Amino acid sequence: MWIKTGIVWLCCCFLFTSMQVVNGADVVEVAKYDFESGNLTGWNVLNQGGGVSVSSEDKQNGSYSVKLTASTGSDYWSVQLETPQINTIPGHLYRISFWAKAVGGGGIIRLSTASASQLKAESGGEDRQYLPELNIGGEWTQYIYESVYGSRLQAGGYSLKLRIDAGKVPGKVYYIDDVLIEDLTPDLEELEGTTPMAKNHAKFLGNIIADQVPDNFNVYWNQVTSENAGKWESVERQRNVMTWAAHDRAYNHAKTNGFKFKYHTLVWGSQEPTWLGSLTQTQQKTELEEFMQAVANRYPDIDYIDVVNEALHAPSSIRQALGGDGVTGWDWVVWSFRKAREYFPNAKLHINDYGIISDPPKAQRYVEIVNILKQENLIDGIGIQCHEFNMNTVTVNTMRNVLGILAATGLPIHVSELDITGNTSISEENQFQVYRDKFPVLWEHESVIGITLWGYINGSTWRTGSGIVEQDGRERKAMVWLKSYMASEKSQVPNKFENLSNNIEHRFDDDLKIYPNPVDDYLTIKGKDIRGFKILDISGKNMRSAYKNETLNVQDLNKGVYLLQIEYDSHIVMKKFMKR
CA quadruple 86, 90, 92, 96: dihedral positive or negative? positive
Confidence grade of residue 571 (pLDDT, cut at 50, 70, 90): low
**One-letter-per-residue 3-state SS of 240-257:** CECCCHHHHHHHHHHHHH
Average pLDDT of 192-217?
86
Position 120 scores a pLDDT of 87
* Catalytic, out of 82, 236, 417, 475: 417
Q: How far apart are CA 298 and CA 206, in angstroms?
A: 22
Would you say residue 269 has pLDDT above 70?
yes
| 227 closest CA partner among 394, 370, 369, 419 | 419
Percentage of the chain beyond pLDDT 70 is: 89
Task: Read off the amino acid at residue 449.
Answer: I
For residue 508, name the pLDDT band (cuts at 50, 70, 90): very low
The Cα–Cα gap between 548 and 529 comes to: 9
Rounded to an integer, the average pLDDT of 395-407 is: 97
Whether 475 is a known active-site residue: answer no
pLDDT digits (tens, 9 = 90+) for 18-35: 334 333 346 888 999 999
pLDDT at 558: 81
Q: How far apart are CA 150 and CA 153, in angstroms?
A: 10
107 pLDDT above the threshold of 50: yes
**C-alpha to C-alpha distances, 481 to 117, 275, 421, 478, 494, nearest whole angstrom:** 11, 46, 15, 5, 21
pLDDT value at 242 more than 80: yes
pLDDT higher than 90, residue 412: yes
- Among 64-73, 257-266, 375-384, 555-564, the least confident range: 555-564
Distance CA 535, CA 29 (A): 20
In the prediction, which pLDDT does 564 show?
Answer: 80
* 87 Cβ neighbours under 8 A, 6+ residues apart: 30, 31, 158, 159, 160, 537, 538, 539, 560, 561, 562
Q: How confident is the model at residue 337 (pLDDT cuts 50, 70, 90)?
A: very high
What value does the mean pLDDT take over residues 352-376? 98
pLDDT band at 402, cuts 50/70/90? very high
How far apart CA 114 and CA 306 sit, in angstroms, is 41
* Averaged confidence pLDDT in the chain: 87
573 vs 107, 195, 488, 506, 542, CA distance in Å? 51, 9, 20, 6, 15
* DSSP letters for 454-474: S--BTTSSSSTT--SB-TTSP
Model confidence at 89, pLDDT cuts 50, 70, 90, reads: confident
Q: Say if CB 90 and CB 156 are below 8 A apart.
A: yes
* Per-residue model confidence as pLDDT tens digits over 438-457: 999 999 999 999 999 999 99
Q: What is the pLDDT of residue 2?
A: 32
Catalytic annotation, pick one of 182, 310, 388, 475: 310
Q: What is the mean pLDDT of residues 453-482?
A: 93
Segment among 8-22, 87-101, 415-429 with least mean pLDDT? 8-22
Contact 89, 561 (CB under 8 A): yes
Give the CA dihedral 339, 340, 343, 346, nearest 10 degrees: -140
Three-class secondary structure of residue 142 per DSSP:
strand
Q: Which residue has the higher pLDDT, 150 or 393?
A: 393
149-179 pLDDT, tens digit per residue, is 888 898 887 778 999 999 999 999 999 999 9
Q: How would you label 408-418 residue by residue, b for 16+ Cβ within 10 Å and e otherwise?
A: ebebbbbbbbb
The pLDDT value given to residue 534: 80
pLDDT over 90 (residue 328): yes
* Residue-level pLDDT at 14: 28
Mean pLDDT of 107-136: 87
User: What is the average per-residue pLDDT within 222-241?
Assistant: 97
More confident residue, 565 or 118: 118
Query: Residue 490: which of 441, 438, 444, 437 has the closest Cα?
Result: 444
Q: What is the pLDDT of residues 274-311, one digit of tens each?
A: 999 999 999 999 999 999 999 999 999 999 999 999 99
Higher-confidence position of 199 and 537: 199
Query: pLDDT category, 557, cuts 50, 70, 90?
Result: confident
User: Does residue 388 have an active-site annotation?
Assistant: no
9 pLDDT band, cuts 50/70/90, is: very low
Helix (H, G, I), strand (E, B) or coil at 261: strand
